[in-house]
Structure 1
């Protein structure tokens, strides 16, 4: 039996898939997404980017697999200064050069966006946390503050069950089966919250993006790889770091976050006591991230 039935129920969002009067009914009008730009990078991969805010510091945000700018923006809602969001290769309007790809390639994307905007702080989410890990392992002095949210992999391969879930999502997107895509994404939500209007609105946003932009086939190869072959180079990263994990999240195991925090000399680890923190403790999460990134020392 499916976790979700599509179309969703009337009190949970759209009745049909696609634009128009079936938009999520959250009690207020849905705001249009801000206009992004596609920029050239020194390594020849054009990447989609959005810059909001003014002043300093500048913080770059790196999204998770099959995610993007729209999903990542809320993490920076209370962060001061300029905020830079972008789409990794194979996501959104960014290029999808011939693969296979590695975390080194993703780190190159992240580094290019950070350099082009003068970012001095960085946050990585899941896949983005892996890219950020690789970047600072190779360039330990690049940033002066770091946030790793739900790191999924460090130096050990992912379990077969996780690889299967990622493969199922890729297959669902490739098939164009909207209900199958909804099922594949549903593992991110706590069971008690599935079917709520907030989850349906978020689900609709993710599906809109995936069905519009697709999912590059070469992204699947990343599930077979590690972010870094050895954590030892992370010992040279002296910037303050915040590592955040959630108990019970098998896509982002707590031991990965613990090993990452242990390898970083100036890291603080915070583990929420249940998965789905963006639904269950959103205010605390945003406050924790902004307090850390807004610090001036």
Structure 2
């Protein structure tokens, strides 16, 4: 049987055991993380930010729960203009204010980063898509174009499976046990790629970031929150929107993507036929997002 194990092979490459090749292999290392900066927002929360590209238009990218900038960068690889990536509160080097956090707080983080950069377009992934929903419910004309990638929540709480996985990850990070963190994070990649150079590179990068920056305990309450209390609040959104979902993803139910597309007046829905889109359909996903934003 070929499966995942931690610690990694000493030569840095993937290792399979049982029948099959056993010679040492060279794993492709993850690219070094770029230099980021901390920016102070008008609401007093410092947020970690990365700006790439140049010129107009300016697009802001909002990541998912317990991930970060590295997870959203592939979504902007072919998007024209300036791209602004950031970490929500409690992620990376961003501040973790005391008290319970809601999607109103996340929308405030997103709005602040977008306003500081003069962003007219936005891409939200999972948690970031929910924050964008809350922001647009409050300010329907804030963005000229919007992409919602794998929305996870709208007007109903997330599933118990999401709460359990987040609690497991928070506990593992808090314990400082690298093997425990690796065990949880490895499930983010499809089984077919977990023991490949790309899979090991992803795993190393995620573990390095989590063990260095940690995750704030305040994140544990977010799965109990909803992005909007009533989908009718999105009826006034004027921007064309692209909503992307996929079948078979219990963390991001396709029903949420369908409901969001139905709630937005000018939305186009695309549903992939299997999960792990960034691994299985990266080229098509990149072209779809950039084609929509670059029009």
TM-score, normalising length: structure 1: 0.91
In the alignment, what sits opposite 1:51? 51
Query: How far apart in 2 are the matches of 1:280 and 1:30?
Result: 19
The worse-fitting range, judged by mean Cα deviation, of 98-107 and 68-77 is 68-77
SS in 1 for 2:204: helix
Q: 2:27 aligns with which of 21, 25, 39?
A: 25
Which ranges of structure 2 fall in alignment gaps of 5 or more residues? Answer: 16-25
Alignment of 1:205-220 (within 5 A): 205-220=205-220
CA RMSD of aligned residues (A): 1.6
Is the 1:12–1:195 Cα contact (8 Å) retained in structure 2?
Answer: no
Query: How far apart in 1 are the matches of 2:112 and 2:154?
Result: 22
Deviations 1:179-237 (A, max 9, x none): 22122223322222221211111111111111000000001100111111111110111
Whether 2:80 is the aligned partner of 1:80: answer yes
The worse-fitting range, judged by mean Cα deviation, of 247-256 and 91-100 is 91-100
Query: How far apart in 1 are the matches of 2:192 and 2:88?
Result: 32
Which ranges of structure 1 fall in alignment gaps of 5 or more residues? Answer: 16-23
Cα deviation for residue 157 of structure 1 reads: 1.0
Cα deviation for residue 4 of structure 1 reads: 3.2
In the alignment, what sits opposite 2:232? 232
Cα deviation for residue 92 of structure 1 reads: 1.1
Is the 1:133–1:227 Cα contact (8 Å) retained in structure 2?
Answer: yes
Query: How far apart in 2 are the matches of 1:30 and 1:166?
Result: 24
Query: How far apart in 2 are the matches of 1:261 and 1:9?
Result: 45
Length, aligned pairs only: 283
Alignment of 1:136-285 (within 5 A): 136-285=136-285
Is the 1:12–1:198 Cα contact (8 Å) retained in structure 2?
Answer: no
Query: How far apart in 2 are the matches of 1:250 and 1:209?
Result: 25
SS in 1 for 2:235: helix
